[in-house]
């Protein structure tokens, strides 16, 4: 019989006699001693059956602990925008609880668009507190798969097209989450760049592109961020599923010295033998519900359950691999649910609302602002027409595993009316609908209604883009095209004929085709903004907040401007997909082939102006172990306070292998009052000048001259200087 008692935020069962009054606790329960001593002590006390039980799920989102030893179950939860509502034990159906709402945070693409380390850390700390308050031990975020092309249905959950930017920000988010005693789970490792055929497609990619583009963000999140868990991807690499991939596991656990838990995505495990020997530690979701195999407990029939146990008992395999898996899970427990010093967390607080708002304020990108039409001047515009379903549409729901039950969500139309007050008359027309099934008569009626109202307006604000419906931004589905959905393009073309200027606000992971964009006065991209999405947008529109977001992706004029589409084989033949564009992803392809996209990587305007001074380096030559420090003054020469993201790119002027025209290797976000000057400071090492050499299978920096390009975007380079690697 076990007695149970509650320590701070943790339910622990202690076997009778395990702790004697006035006696020191058993080593594995003593959190004042080294964690590795605790791991080995606990491991030695486990039976074979208890070890097997620990490495696979017992419900949709929990894996079993060891009640006999007071080791709690592990509880995990989606997701990137907030803690997912509770589901039934064995099914995907919601449990119907009334106390599982959350603060909805901006999507990770919006976090990436902030280009702000502090914002990424705030996201992690704040969302981690919500996971902790809900007694979750693992937060299944951040997702950092590279935005290879605009059609991937989960692009909005990721952090852009550049591995440096994604890795730096993901590392900060990881540290923020784990400061709460909650493990961050970096996903999906690796090459999960499409949802079509994601459960079977084999990715064919060069080893160089693998390391330079698709693994580098993971490396930074794991090595620099110290992530405690990693989730494998569904797809294959080298014809092995990534969940238990020999090559990827060596990189993760040997090269990067990852000491945490590699877990499967739900249903991502495919083979017992590979799972044993290729690094999978914890298996989740092999069956859709606990009874689907026809057994009384399907979890016992997972690949790492009874089949593994039978192999051990028959002598076919040993226990060394099992012990390594259990060590990692025990280490995770001691870092999370057996950490008596972790806080209690908090959820749905006023502070978390403020955090979500601060994150989204910095993620909104001002793409275009002809004639300084923005911010909206209330003395100039007295009748504003807001058009578009997304002005009054809940965007925190849906999307697959990123959907949340938000405690509230501020609609843009409500926030606009609140800020406009009595000075401006605000009218709203839906204009289009995403309802299914399609009803052409209803669609025509909505469009005609909006066009009639436009004739009376001084200014039109169109709030559209994508939502999280299937085939738009949603797990399990890729987009069908980059055409504007729900006939928005037809409506926009007609609205642009009105006398009033038009401000276009788009939401979602990517811009859609807009051959008419030249006629649009001003454009904002707002991603998916969470609970305070409407508030942040209205504040930017009316100038209460100066926009400072920058694109973490390239916005193309048309799909075939993207290298993955122009040169690759997306989505493949159902068996294989080849990444023929190699390392030339996103702006790297744009630079190499002189493509002129709609908006370049790193682009984003402000309501003020900045002047870039002359950069100065503390040395002009660098040895392999050295660091060069570059200092460049930036001045706000406008009349408003504002934030500027100063970006540093490296250009190798002569190399033995094809290299991008430039690669992002530094960024600093400066907050400047009018007239204020501050220094952007960068540090460059030989690693920043390196490429992955496939012959030596290592990073290589070749001696020579490198140009450092500093500017406001990948296109807008303001200053440069050259350094030499000796």
CA distances in angstroms from 372 to 215, 382, 522, 642, listed in the order given: 41, 17, 8, 15
How far apart CA 650 and CA 350 sit, in angstroms, is: 42
DSSP H helices, 70-200, are 108-113, 117-133, 163-178
- Dump the DSSP string for 580-621: TTTT--THHHHHHTT---SB-TT--B-SS-EEE---EES-SE
First to last CA, the chain: 69
Residue 392 DSSP symbol: G
How far apart CA 722 and CA 601 sit, in angstroms, is: 23
Instruction: Identify whether 435 is a catalytic site residue.
Output: no
The residues, ordered by sequence, that sit 6+ positions from 290 with a Cβ below 8 Å of its Cβ are 59, 89, 90, 297, 298, 299
Residue identified by tokens 């294959």 is: 236
pTM over 0.75: yes
pLDDT at 624: 79
pLDDT band at 16 (very low <50, low <70, confident <90, very high): very low
pLDDT at 294: 58
Q: Are 717 and 711 in contact (CB under 8 A)?
A: yes
Q: Are 447 and 494 in contact (CB under 8 A)?
A: yes
Three-state SS for 570? Answer: coil
Based on the number of CB atoms within 10 Å of its own CB, is 32 exposed (0-12), middle (13-18) or buried (19 or more)?
exposed
The domains located in the chain, with CATH, are: 26-90+100-335 (3.20.20.300), 350-550 (3.40.50.1700), 610-725 (2.60.40.10)
Cα–Cα nearest to 151, from 520, 472, 630, 588: 472
Cα–Cα nearest to 507, from 471, 472, 552, 542: 472
pLDDT band at 15 (very low <50, low <70, confident <90, very high): very low
pLDDT tens sequence across 663-702? 999 999 999 999 999 999 999 999 999 999 999 999 999 9
pLDDT tens sequence across 74-107? 999 998 999 999 999 988 899 999 999 999 999 9
How far apart CA 722 and CA 472 sit, in angstroms, is: 44
How far apart CA 144 and CA 157 sit, in angstroms, is: 8
**Tokens (6 digits) for 526:** 């707002």
Q: Are 669 and 643 in contact (CB under 8 A)?
A: yes
Question: Does residue 723 have a pLDDT over 60?
Answer: yes
- Candidates 78, 137, 265, 355; catalytic one: 265
CA distances in angstroms from 567 to 216, 564, 583, 593, listed in the order given: 22, 6, 12, 12
Cα–Cα nearest to 188, from 275, 78, 92: 78
Across 235-274, b (16+ Cβ under 10 Å) vs e yields bbbeebbbbbbeebbebbbeeeebbbbbbbbbebbbbbeb
* Peptide bond preceding 571 in cis form (omega within 30 of 0): yes
pLDDT tens sequence across 254-310? 999 999 999 999 999 999 999 999 999 999 998 766 556 656 678 999 999 999 999
How far apart CA 488 and CA 502 sit, in angstroms, is: 14
């Amino acid at each position: 019989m076990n007695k149970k008692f509650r320590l701070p935020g943790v339910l622990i069962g202690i076997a009778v006699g395990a702790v004697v009054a006035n006696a020191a606790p058993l080593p594995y329960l003593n959190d004042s001693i080294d964690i590795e001593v605790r791991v080995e002590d606990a491991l030695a006390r486990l039976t074979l059956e208890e070890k097997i039980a620990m490495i696979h799920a017992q419900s949709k989102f929990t894996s079993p602990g060891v009640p006999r030893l007071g080791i709690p179950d592990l509880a995990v939860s989606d997701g990137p925008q907030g803690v997912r509502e509770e589901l039934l034990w064995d099914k995907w159906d919601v449990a119907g609880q009334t106390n599982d709402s959350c603060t909805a945070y901006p999507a990770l693409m919006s976090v990436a668009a902030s280009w702000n380390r502090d914002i990424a850390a705030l996201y992690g700390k704040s969302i981690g507190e919500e996971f902790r308050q809900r007694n979750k031990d693992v937060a299944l975020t951040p997702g950092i798969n590279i935005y290879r092309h605009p059609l991937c249905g989960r692009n909005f959950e990721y952090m852009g097209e550049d591995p440096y930017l994604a890795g730096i920000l993901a590392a900060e988010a990881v540290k923020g989450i784990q400061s709460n005693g909650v493990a961050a789970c970096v996903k999906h490792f690796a090459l999960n760049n499409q949802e079509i055929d994601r459960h079977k497609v084999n990715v064919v990619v060069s080893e160089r592109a693998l390391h330079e583009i698709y693994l580098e963000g993971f490396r930074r999140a794991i090595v620099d961020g110290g992530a405690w868990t990693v989730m494998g991807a569904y797809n294959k690499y080298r014809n092995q599923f990534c969940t238990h991939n020999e090559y990827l596991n060596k990189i993760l656990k040997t090269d990067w010295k990852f000491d945490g838990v590699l877990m499967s995505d739900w249903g991502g495990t495919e083979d017992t033998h590979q799972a044993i020997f290729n690094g999978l530690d914890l298996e989740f979701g092999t069956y859709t519900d606990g009874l689907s195999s026809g057994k009384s407990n399907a979890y016992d029939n997972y690949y790492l359950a009874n089949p593994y146990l039978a192999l051990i008992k028959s002598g076919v395999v040993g226990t060394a691999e099992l012990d390594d898996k259990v060590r990692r899970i025990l280490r995770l427990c001691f870092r999370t649910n057996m950490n008596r010093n972790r806080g209690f967390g908090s959820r749905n607080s006023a502070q978390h609302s403020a955090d979500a708002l601060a994150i989204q304020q910095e993620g909104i990108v001002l793409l275009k602002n002809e004639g300084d039409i923005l911010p909206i001047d209330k003395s100039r515009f007295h009748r504003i027409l807001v058009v578009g379903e997304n002005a009054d549409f809940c965007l925190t729901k849906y999307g697959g595993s990123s959907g949340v039950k938000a405690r509230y969500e501020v609609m843009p139309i409500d926030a606009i009316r609140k800020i406009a007050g009595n000075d401006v008359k605000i009218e709203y027309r839906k204009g289009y609908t995403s309802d299914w099934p399609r009803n052409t008569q209803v669609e025509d009626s909505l469009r005609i209604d909006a066009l009639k109202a436009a004739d009376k307006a001084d200014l039109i604000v169109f709030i559209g883009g994508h939502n999280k419906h299937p085939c738009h931004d949603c797990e399990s589905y890729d987009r069908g095209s980059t055409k504007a959905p729900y006939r928005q393009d037809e409506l926009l073309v007609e609205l642009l004929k009105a006398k009033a200027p038009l401000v276009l606000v788009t939401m979602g992971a990517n811009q859609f085709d807009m051959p008419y964009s030249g006629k649009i006065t001003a454009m904002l991209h707002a991603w998916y903004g969470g609970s305070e999405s409407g508030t942040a947008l209205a504040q930017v529109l009316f100038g209460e907040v100066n926009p400072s977001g920058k694109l973490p992706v390239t916005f193309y004029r048309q799909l075939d401007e993207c290298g993955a589409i122009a040169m690759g084989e997306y989505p493949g033949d159902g068996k294989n997909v080849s990444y023929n564009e190699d390392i030339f992803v996103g702006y790297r392809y744009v630079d190499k082939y002189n493509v002129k996209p709609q908006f370049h990587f790193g682009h984003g305007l402000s309501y003020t102006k900045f002047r870039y001074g002359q950069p100065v380096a503390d040395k002009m030559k660098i040895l392999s172990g050295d660091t060069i420090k570059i200092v460049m003054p930036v001045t706000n020469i406008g009349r408003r306070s504002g934030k500027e993201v100063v970006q540093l790119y490296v250009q190798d002027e002569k190399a033995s292998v094809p290299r991008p025209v430039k690669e992002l290797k530094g960024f600093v976000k400066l907050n400047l009052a009018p007239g204020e000057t501050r220094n952007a400071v960068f540090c460059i090492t030989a690693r920043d000048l390196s490429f992955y050499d496939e012959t030596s299978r290592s990073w290589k920096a070749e001696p020579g001259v490198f140009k450092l390009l500093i500017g406001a975007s990948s296109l807008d380079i303001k200053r440069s200087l050259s350094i030499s690697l000796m």
